[in-house]
Amino acid sequence: MAQATEVRRRNKGRELSMSLEEFTKAYHDMLLIRRFEEKAGQLYGMGLIGGFCHLYIGQEAVVVGMLSAISEGDQVITSYRDHGHMLASGMDPRGVMSELTGRRDGYSHGKGGSMHMFSKARHFFGGHGIVGAQVSLGTGIAFSNWYRNNDRICLTFFGEGAANQGQVFESFNLAALLKLPVVYVIENNRYSMGTSVDRATTAKDLAHNGAAWGIPGAQADGMDVVAVKEAAEIAVAWCRAGKGPYLLEVKTYRYRGHSMSDPARYRTREEVQQMRAEHDCIEGARAKLLALGVEEAALKKIDDEVKRIIQDAADFAEKSPDPDPAELFTDVLKEDAAA
Amino acid sequence: MPRMNMVQALNSAMDVMMARDENVVVFGEDVGYFGGVFRCTEGLQKKYGRDRAFDTPIAESGILAAAIGMGVYGLRPVVEIQFADYIYPATDQLVSTAARLRYRSAGAFTAPITVRSPCGGGIFGGQTHSQSPEAIFTHVCGLKTVIPSNPYDAKGLLISAIEDDDPVIFLEPKRIYNGPFDGHHDRPVIPWSEHPASEVPAGHYTVSLGQAACVRPGAEVTVLTYGTMVHVALAGAEEAGVDAEILDLRTLIPLDIETIVASVGKTGRCLIVHEATRTSGFGAELAALVQEHCFYALEAPIVRITGWDTPYPHALEWDYFPGPRRVAEGLKRVMAD
């Protein structure tokens, strides 16, 4: 049987369950993602980025908390709202931004765009534009881990909208059957494009979605990086111990539209403002750091450092040349491999 | 007469059919409350209620399968698959059930469903939001495949599709939802309101499935095309200075072979233009048919101008897209012999 769903709510008075150094790094990483996404939004507005561009603003604590609980060599795979996952995986902001601008120095040489980037070196398996597709892929990656007995686990991220895809349930069954080391992370930001979660499913707690197969499920407050990390550690330990898959529903919120053109008629402005004002993961972490005695000047130093990295990435991505037109025909098959 | 862009014309077709026939139901991802990602179903839920215009979970296979079941027992479902690129999870039900139900039940049951889906590129959608998968469906006997190129046809064809007793794949070239894009991406967008085909009757009318339209009469060469490429072909012919007869096929299955044969018989030359990739594209079928029917009338090899055999790239979109320059080159090539 699945263990009871466990809710880890934000508790401001609770002792910090990570070292101050780790917490400061988490703050840095969340801020890096926030500033990167804000810059991407600006570049989009200036016409330097085109097409679809799904910003992660608001959800930073999810990926930073989750990735702080895994080890080098563990894999990460996600959907199209993927910039944060790439930065948290340690991918170069210059390469990510250059992919957004469709330039030669992008991770996919400009041919993938915002939704399709990969890094073998950082064990990041994409960036996938088809809703839910990556859930089955993550299951397959976990199978490779199991087959090789390599002690690695695969973090497989998807949204609450993707959670309704048939292949997600097919994957749950397979992963449970073979006890595959995969943590399924549902980033529940409440809206699959313009459809709220209650208009798309009668399930109240998506953490229970694997219960039929005996997959343990838990929930975490995705606006609190410490809460995410704590929940992630339990999930990761479960998988690492060979007990099979684990399902974590992380409750979060996206501040921006689904993509760049979104009339946002499906929620009120007040709702967004309230989340920003009362639950923002970065403001929350900042307040906690100050309360723990970290000096304003130290935080300012982090802010400045992040700003510098992002400006550098933006400048680089603007100057990087367009891909050579001949690149259109490379990497369709092995025979067409880029020189 | 009202002027409509393609989004409004499609919306009007569904509105007219929902008012006429209570068996018509409209559903899909973000279709009900939100009104569709391209706004094609805007207002339908408000007007007809949540029982007739509704949202579904993101689960294409389930959406299509449920539609087939509804159709089998008397409803006329109009399903939206948000992007044609998202249709593949539903392919099993389309191919194995929708397309084959009539045959395997000796006509007792059919799947009178219409599957609307935006297709094609030109909006920087990258590989998962730009594809033109029409040839996948034309290859499956038992399905009809429609691709309109303007608001008037879009409404008339959609009404025909909904009234049709067999499953219809209705592909909507998203780049021309708001204006007749001729491939010149660096020029200002022209709205539909300046185009004669934006005059769309408010009420019920049909454009029959299986009838091509001649959008430009000419004597020197026949251009076979559809969707966005109709407008690109017009621009290409003008730039090449060739007196081309341009046929907008409008529906690929059923195909208006008579009009094609009559035109090629007259001009003796044939250029085929589509945005989809080349190999095993619908152009290959057209070339084979023209060869079978018009071999002795042909004065030059048939030429195809298509998307390259690559995934749709994010960068280099306009190198991929077969724009007016490539069409003009194709026309010159087919005229050279």
For residue A234, what pLDDT band results from cuts at 50, 70 and 90?
very high
What is the DSSP annotation of B235-290?
Answer: HHHHHHT--EEEEE--EEES--HHHHHHHHHHHS-EEEEEEEESTTSHHHHHHHHH
pTM: 0.92
Residue B297: CB atoms within 10 A of its CB come to 15
For residue A60, what pLDDT band results from cuts at 50, 70 and 90?
very high
Cis peptide preceding B118, ω within 30 of 0 = no
Separation between Cα atoms, residue A223 and residue B247, nearest integer Å: 57
B175 contact partners, CB below 8 Å, separation of at least 6: B120, B121, B122, B123, B181, B228
For residue B95, what pLDDT band results from cuts at 50, 70 and 90?
very high
User: Residue B67: CA atoms inside 13 Å, Cβ hemisphere, count?
Assistant: 37
A87-114 residue pLDDT tens: 999 999 999 999 999 999 999 999 999 9
CA distances from B331 to B245, B305, B319 (A): 11, 9, 19
**Which pLDDT value is given to residue A180?**
98
For residue A11, what pLDDT band results from cuts at 50, 70 and 90?
very low
Choice among A9-18, B86-95, B116-125, B314-323 with the minimum mean pLDDT: A9-18
Helix crossing, A93-100 with A296-319: angle to 10°? 50
Which of A99, A131, A197, A258 would you mutate first to test chain B, the one with the most B CBs within 10 A?
A: A131
Nearest CA in chain B to A161: B58
Separation between Cα atoms, residue B233 and residue B219, nearest integer Å: 15
Q: Is A5 on the interface with B (CB under 8 A)?
A: no
Q: Which of B59, B88, B310 is facing A329, going by the closest CB pair? A: B310
| pLDDT above 70: percentage of residues in chain B | 100
**Which pLDDT value is given to residue B53?**
98
For residue B185, what pLDDT band results from cuts at 50, 70 and 90?
very high
CA A222 to chain B, closest CA, distance in angstroms equals 23
Residue A17 has pLDDT above 90, yes or no: no
**Which pLDDT value is given to residue A339?**
54
Which of B27, B39, B128 would you mutate first to test chain A, the one with the most A CBs within 10 A?
A: B128
Separation between Cα atoms, residue A130 and residue B33, nearest integer Å: 22
Interface of A with B in 288-317 (CB under 8 A): none
Task: Average the pLDDT over A247-268 and give the result.
Answer: 93
Separation between Cα atoms, residue A228 and residue A221, nearest integer Å: 6
Domain B213-336 part of CATH 3.40.50.920? yes
Q: Is A201 on the interface with B (CB under 8 A)?
A: yes
**Which chain A residues have a beta carbon less than 8 Å from that of B311?**
111, 332
Catalytic (active-site) positions of B: 129
A308-322 residue pLDDT tens: 999 999 999 999 999
Dihedral angle, C-alpha B233, B238, B240, B243, nearest 10 °: 90
Fold annotation for B6-198: Rossmann fold (3.40.50)
For residue A15, what pLDDT band results from cuts at 50, 70 and 90?
low
Q: B74: left (phi > 0), else alpha (psi -120 to 50), else beta? A: left
For residue B337, what pLDDT band results from cuts at 50, 70 and 90?
confident
**Which chain B residues have a beta carbon less than 8 Å from that of A325?**
316, 319
**SS3 label, residue A323:** coil
**Which pLDDT value is given to residue A14?**
54
CATH 3.40.50.970 domain position(s) in chain B: 6-198
C-beta of residue B126 within 8 angstroms of C-beta of residue B312: yes
Q: Which of A51, A166, A194 is facing B314, going by the closest CB pair? A: A51
**Which pLDDT value is given to residue A251?**
98
Residues in chain A: 339
Separation between Cα atoms, residue A115 and residue B298, nearest integer Å: 46
B199-240 residue pLDDT tens: 999 999 999 999 999 999 999 999 999 999 999 999 999 999
**Which pLDDT value is given to residue A6?**
38
Which of A98, A328, A329 would you mutate first to test chain B, the one with the most B CBs within 10 A?
A: A328
Amino acid at B98: A
Give chain A's radius of gyration (CA, Å): 19
**Which chain B residues have a beta carbon less than 8 Å from that of A102?**
314-316
C-beta of residue A171 within 8 angstroms of C-beta of residue A209: no
CA A152 to chain B, closest CA, distance in angstroms equals 30
Q: Which two tokens stand for residue B208?
A: 């029959």
CA A121 to chain B, closest CA, distance in angstroms equals 23
CA B60 to chain A, closest CA, distance in angstroms equals 8
Answer yes or no: do A193 and B30 touch at CB < 8 A: yes
Separation between Cα atoms, residue A219 and residue A249, nearest integer Å: 5
Residue A71: CB atoms within 10 A of its CB come to 10
**Which pLDDT value is given to residue A2?**
40
A268-297 residue pLDDT tens: 999 999 999 999 999 999 999 999 999 999
| Complex ipTM | 0.88
Separation between Cα atoms, residue A24 and residue A302, nearest integer Å: 9
**Which chain A residues have a beta carbon less than 8 Å from that of B123?**
51
* A158 closest CA partner among A194, A133, A190, A181: A133
For residue B248, what pLDDT band results from cuts at 50, 70 and 90?
very high
**Which pLDDT value is given to residue A334?**
87
Answer yes or no: do B58 and A192 touch at CB < 8 A: yes
CA A164 to chain B, closest CA, distance in angstroms equals 6
Per 3-state DSSP, chain B is made up of helix, strand and coil in percentages (nearest 5) of 40, 20, 40
**Which pLDDT value is given to residue A9?**
40
B17-58 residue pLDDT tens: 999 999 999 999 999 999 999 999 999 999 999 999 999 999
| pLDDT above 90: percentage of residues in chain A | 91
**Which pLDDT value is given to residue A7?**
35
Fold annotation for A54-91+119-298: Rossmann fold (3.40.50)
**Which pLDDT value is given to residue A338?**
63
What does pLDDT average to over chain B? 97
| pLDDT above 70: percentage of residues in chain A | 95
**Which chain B residues have a beta carbon less than 8 Å from that of A116?**
126-128, 314
